[in-house]
Structure 1
Amino acid sequence: SQNRQLPIAIQLAIFLNCVGHYGNAILPEYVAQCAGVGTGTVHNCTNHVMVAILDQHDIFIQFPGLDSEDVARAWVYTQNRLCPEWHNGILAADGSAFRLFAKPAMHGETFFDHKSNYSLNCQASIY
């Protein structure tokens, strides 16, 4: 369309509102009503800001070279904290939840998940 974009500050405010909420609180209709714009504008603003952030990815996120001092420090750090049973292995965790029959006696509340079940996540160590 021939319409001008909203000011960057407003686009950023709409984007931050979208990424700062979860579930029903973030329906585009609610954000549009709050910002006084249409739902299409909410989608456009969110997309424009995300594209602008991703355009900066390679400038701000860089991996150190394999011969750098940071890699050497990270290697020493992990070797000091590595579980010996996992040495030279690959840890694969898919996060599948196994429901428990009842609340565990010790630290039971820590096993309560977002679906209101007591559960454990699976992990598999592969060699």
Structure 2
Amino acid sequence: MAGIGEGSVHNFTKHCFCAIKSLHDVFVRPLTEEEKEQEKRWMEKHMGFGGLWQEGYLMYDGTIVVLYAQPGLDGAAYYTYKANYGINVQIGNTPSNLQIVDYSTGHTGLAYDVSAFEYTTAYCFPELLFRGEEFAWADLAYRASPHLVPIHKQPTSSLDYNTYFDCNVSSFCV
């Protein structure tokens, strides 16, 4: 009968993360200009966003990766508003195929999306992801910036044309 020896879990985890890390640059990378244009055409075709609105070819959202238990060091900082312990992950991906282009990890569950977003490539080095009028979409947990457009807050969200806009933006799946 086989068992797991001391240090096995550590070794298994190490090997899994080495394998994941070796594939990182293959799957997580900025889009080429041709891929960006494909995304913009997809936005126009599927979302009806023409003109400058189709320049939004990425979308950002945060999620919590739930931890099994409270961490021993600074455990309270990992407590989330959903009554569990977790790590905040920010993901920037394309709307058509959900390809991850940018991400940020490691923030405690208490970190708001807007705070954790400040560690993404889009925030720190926007010139690597955006050219000209290009920008990313986000939910209202994020602040508007030259390269990030959040959906509207009240009272402007109740205007007919903003409701239409927000409804289309909210149909993005991250």
Compute the TM-score of the two structures, normalised by the length of structure 2.
0.25
The structure with the greater share of residues assigned to strand is 2
Compute the TM-score of the two structures, normalised by the length of structure 1.
0.32
The structure with the greater share of residues assigned to helix is 1
